[in-house]
Amino acid sequence: MSHTKKKKKNPKPSEKNLRVGLADGIIKASPEPRLALPLRQPPGEEPRPARPAPSPMDLRAGDSWGMLACLCAVLWHLPAVPALNRTGDPGPGPSIQKTYDLTRYLEHQLRSLAGTYLNYLGPPFNEPDFNPPRLGAETLPRATVNLEVWRSLNDRLRLTQNYEAYSHLLCYLRGLNRQAATAELRRSLAHFCTSLQGLLGSIAGVMAALGYPLPQPLPGTEPTWTPGPAHSDFLQKMDDFWLLKELQTWLWRSAKDFNRLKKKMQPPAAAVTLHLEAHGF
């Protein structure tokens, strides 16, 4: 009797044997893959070594496109860095920025010094609304200038006026320091004089970077401070008041001067050069 072999139907894979994978953005269910049995080695042949599994650090052909896309993204953002790989001499820009920062610092320092000194002078000099006429302080350099005249100044004249003004003001401040009655006030004045001397040196550095010579004082015109014998105590205090007021105005003007000069000397974005090396492309 012949036995008829019935074909066995493949059982449907159970949920336990299903594997959910993500391929091309579509979730598919596939049976669990079977293990492949190794083929028998023909007699007389040496066993072949198994092929090593690819290392996770191996680069595939498609990875070069990823590297290229990454490089393009970096190059796209490079112009946003203004000082990247800038070549050549930086020019006077850093000296101008340093001088501008120093003028702003001295403005802050003078507010503290003026409050202390005006309290030392007493009323009415320490009152907020006190604004006396300028009488005996005609030798002080004036910072006030017409706006159109100020705009028409060239760089050399602008720097020269700043340098000469602070040379005079520093001399008068040292005179105040010599006549100060308290040790605390002398320390404050000495500290401010040191900072103002630093500002003079910074202005000289800007002029040297731009190729301008320092102004030489004419014979007999060097600033000196001597207390006038005919001055009354009130008039002497008036001179001290105007010295601090003129110094405050000069620092305000200098901040405007160096900010204007800083913007003028700032290189355009096209002047920034980039040196890039790409290997393997």
Q: What is the pLDDT of residues 164-206, one digit of tens each?
A: 999 999 999 998 888 888 899 999 999 999 999 999 999 999 9
Distance (Å, rounded) from C-alpha 136 to C-alpha 20?
95
Q: Pairing state of beta strands 26-31 and 18-23? A: antiparallel
Determine contact, residues 167/247, Cβ cutoff 8 Å. Answer: no
Phi, psi of 31 (to 5 degrees): -65, 155
Residue that has been written with the tokens 């030798």 in this structure: 139
Q: What is the CA radius of gyration of the chain?
A: 40
| Per-residue pLDDT tens over the stretch 48-58 | 555 555 454 44
Give exposure, 199-236, as e/b (b: 16+ Cβ within 10 Å): bbebbbbbbebbebeeeeeeeeeebebeeeeeeeeeee
Domains of the chain from N-terminus onward: 93-265 (1.20.1250.10)
pTM: 0.63
* Amino acid of residue 40: R
pLDDT band at 146 (very low <50, low <70, confident <90, very high): confident
Average pLDDT score, the chain: 74
Mean local confidence (pLDDT), 86-96: 75
E-strand spans in the chain? Answer: 18-23, 26-31
Q: Per DSSP, what are the bridge partners of residue 29?
A: 20
**Helices H / strands E in the chain, number of each:** 6, 2
Distance (Å, rounded) from C-alpha 159 to C-alpha 144?
15
